Structure formats: C-alpha cells, structure tokens
Amino acid sequence: MPASDDPERARRFREATLPHLDDAYTLARYLLRDPADAEDAVQECYLRALHHFDSYRGPSIRPWLLAILRNVCHAEFARRARQPQVPVRNVTEDAAEQPLWQEPPPSPEADLLRHRDAQAIRRLVIALPAPLREVIVLRDINDLSYREIAEIARVPLGTVMSRLARARAMLRAAWNLEEESTS
C-alpha cells in the first residue's frame, strides 16, 4: 500500500497540520494579497507537506509548514514576475474581510471602530515592503518566535529583529499620519 493510502499517516498529518490552517491562510493572504491566490497557495502547501510528511523531524510543525507556504508564495511571485504586469488593485473597505484572528465585537459601536481599525491596519500592513510584511505577519499575527521566523525566512536572527523593528516603526508612522488626517 502506498504511503499516501495509509489511513494512520493521514490521521497523524491531519492532527498535526490542520490546527495551523488559519495561520497558513493568514500568512498567504498577506504575502499574495489575494484571497483566491492565498487559498491556492495553502492548498499547494498542504499537498507538499503531506507528500514530505514522513521526512519531517522536529518539535513544532508550524514553522516547517509555514516555511513550505513561504516557498510556495515566493514561487507564485516568481511566476507572476514572468507575466505582464497588471496594476495592483486597491483594497477597498468592502473588499476586505474581517480578519480571522478577531473575536466578534460586543456592541455595534465597537464593531464599527474595530472594523475601521482592522481595515486600516490591514491596508497599512499590505503596503509594507514584502520582507517587512512577512516578519510582521509571522510575529504579530501568527505569534512565531524570532528563531522560528529566522528559520522560515532563512535569515539571521538579527535580520528578523531589524526587519520587525523597521516594520513596526513604519506601521506606527503610517498609523499616526492616518489618525491625524481623520481628526
């Protein structure tokens, strides 16, 4: 019986990887900036992870899985670079969906404020350069350690900390500018 037909292997794979599906989608969504592309990338990631599941060795599967996803997303970037450039569409308030990591709001007023702030943050994160966007999503949204991010991004730990500091500073400055313009 081929390894892909082993029900015990499939069960172990599901138990190990499915809890990280939302994290994978969130990262793909920020890296690719398109929900449909993000879904495709996550599907490809999980197919590759299943194919190589027997070779996985490590304490935490989440960094391994997100590293595979990052490679899939970068391959998609490379594919897109070979195609004619299409203008990047703006993320409108209606097009952006509620982030997966937020709980339902307690009141209509809080919902309105949370929705407005979430859209602004999402728009500001999407505007970051790709290396900075990647570390901010991995750290502040997916809650990975600096060491895990360094392994996923294949950069030194100091580079992760530097990128994260720059990303946070850029977000803070952009947020302050936006707040000043709305007051």
Tens digit of pLDDT for each residue in 70-115? 999 988 766 766 666 545 444 444 444 555 455 555 677 777 777 7
**Is residue 120 packed enough to be buried (19+ CB in 10 Å), middle (13-18) or exposed (0-12)?**
middle
**pTM check: above 0.75:** no
**Is residue 177 packed enough to be buried (19+ CB in 10 Å), middle (13-18) or exposed (0-12)?**
exposed
Residue 101 within a domain: no
What is the reported pLDDT for 64?
Answer: 93
Domain count for the chain, please give it.
Answer: 2
Q: How far apart are CA 147 and CA 164, in angstroms?
A: 13
Tens digit of pLDDT for each residue in 135-163? 999 999 889 999 999 999 999 999 999 99
Q: For residue 86, give its domain range.
A: 1-91
Residue 162 within a domain: yes
Which has more confidence, 38 or 118?
38
- What is the number of other CB atoms lying within 10 angstroms of the CB of residue 131? 15
Asked if 139 and 164 count as a contact pair (C-beta separation under 8 A), the reply is: yes
Q: Which of 19, 18, 42 is nearest to 30 (CA)?
A: 42
Mean pLDDT of 25-43: 92
What is the reported pLDDT for 97?
Answer: 53
